[in-house]
Amino acid sequence: MSVAWIGLGNMGGPMAANLVDAGTTVRGFDVSEAAAASAAERGVEVVGGVADAVRDADVVFTMLPKGEHVREVLTGPDGVLANIKPGALIVDESTIDIEVARELHETVREAGARFLDAPVSGGVSGAAAGTLTIMVGGAAEDLDEARPLLEVLGGKVVHAGDAGNGQAAKIVNNMMCGVILGVTCEGAVLSERLGLDPTVFHSIAATSSGDSWVLRTWYPSPGVVESAAVNRDFEGGFSVALLHKDLGLAVNAGESTGTPLPFATQARDAMASLLDAGLANKDCTVLVKQVGGTLETPSSH
């Protein structure tokens, strides 16, 4: 089976590399030279554009920032739909608006191909380890076809239902993650100010009612959790810009369904203030600096 991968960033790079390690030939493309070079080092056959990547592919994966990028990569003049084999399967792993995902299901079907919305959870550490949870919206028979590849990328592959339901599950999940991140940053700062050693407090919370995936994977005090971005000056990981996007999608979904979401709204506004501080590309756990009052912004230098 021939696979194409468009978007080789923090998530797409290691995911494509896992397919290569499992023996699949992956032809990839990214507009960022750095992302493309790093995927090439991991064995992805990097080519110069979307058309070259997808021409012979049976399955095309996309892992791009937002809905507008996925729409452009799929429907643009040199995009996926203009160049794929008839009947090819497109699997979008990005987190995008439910409405855009449903629109793309329709557009792809009209173009004679097939589409699954298949966003993931588990962060860059889960992408690297191949332990992501993958939530899939679309036809069950298309998922059956993609499943052997998805099982290389993730430890759990769930059929969430019809077109767009993968994105619906992902947006609600990330809303919960964003709110838990906010209070975990507050807990990390407050516990230290109350005189607790960060490692000791973390080990208590991890087996108490304050436990969460954010606590175990992203704990924002240095030297406590190896996978946490605080240990890498908040580089890589899950960016402020992307969490802001996801919380905005959740708040919009709250409005369209008449569901009040005060916690999610506050978490979105916290990410917006980090964007205003020029921190769009830092990992979202940089929020801990704002809570602790130690945020150095480009304008404060």
Q: Which residues belong to the active site?
A: 170
DSSP classification of residue 283: B
The alpha carbon torsion through 67, 95, 282, 190 (nearest 10 deg) reads 140
Closest approach of Cβ 132 to ligand NAD, in Å?
8
Determine the Cα–Cα distance for residues 77 and 93; give it in Å rounded to an integer: 22
Q: Pick the closer one to ligand NAD by CB: 83 or 191.
A: 83
Query: What is the C-alpha separation between 17 and 205, in angstroms, rounded?
Result: 34
Smallest distance, ligand NAD to C-beta of residue 45, A? 15
Residue 14 tokens read as 């290691």
* Nearest approach, Cβ of residue 209 and ligand NAD (Å): 25
CA dihedral sign, ordered 83, 89, 93, 99: positive
Pick the binder of ligand NAD from 4, 16, 20, 35 (CB under 6 A). 35
**Closer Cβ to ligand NAD, 191 or 249, answer by number:** 249
Nearer to ligand NAD, 32 or 266 (CB): 32
**Are 134 and 153 contacting, i.e. CB atoms less than 8 angstroms apart?**
yes
Judged by CB under 6 A, the residue of 5, 27, 29, 267 near ligand NAD is 29
Residue ranges in 229-258 that form contacts with ligand NAD under rule CB under 6 A = 238, 242, 246
Q: Which residue is nearest to ligand NAD (CB)?
A: 9
**H-only helix segments in the chain:** 12-21, 33-41, 50-54, 67-75, 98-110, 123-129, 140-153, 165-193, 198-206, 213-218, 240-257, 262-276, 287-292
* Site membership for ligand NAD, residue 128 (CB under 6 A): no
When binding is defined by CB under 6 A, the residue of 18, 24, 94, 173 that contacts ligand NAD is 94
CB of 122 to ligand NAD, least distance (A): 7
Cα 209 to Cα 204: distance, rounded to the nearest angstrom: 9
- Contact string 167-196 vs ligand NAD (x = CB under 6 A): ------------------------------
Least distance to ligand NAD from the beta carbon of 46, Å? 11
Spatial CB neighbours of 278, under 8 Å, sequence gap ≥ 6: 297, 298, 299
Shortest Å, Cβ 25 to ligand NAD = 19
Distance CA(246)–CA(95), nearest Å, equals 7
Residues 193-232 that bind ligand NAD (CB under 6 A): none
Stretch that binds ligand NAD, among 58-66, 82-90, 138-146, 249-257 (CB under 6 A): 58-66
Q: What is the dihedral of CA 271, 272, 273, 274, to 10 degrees?
A: 50
Binding footprint of ligand NAD on the chain (CB under 6 A):
6-12, 29-32, 35, 63-65, 69, 72-73, 94-95, 120-121, 123-124, 238, 242, 246
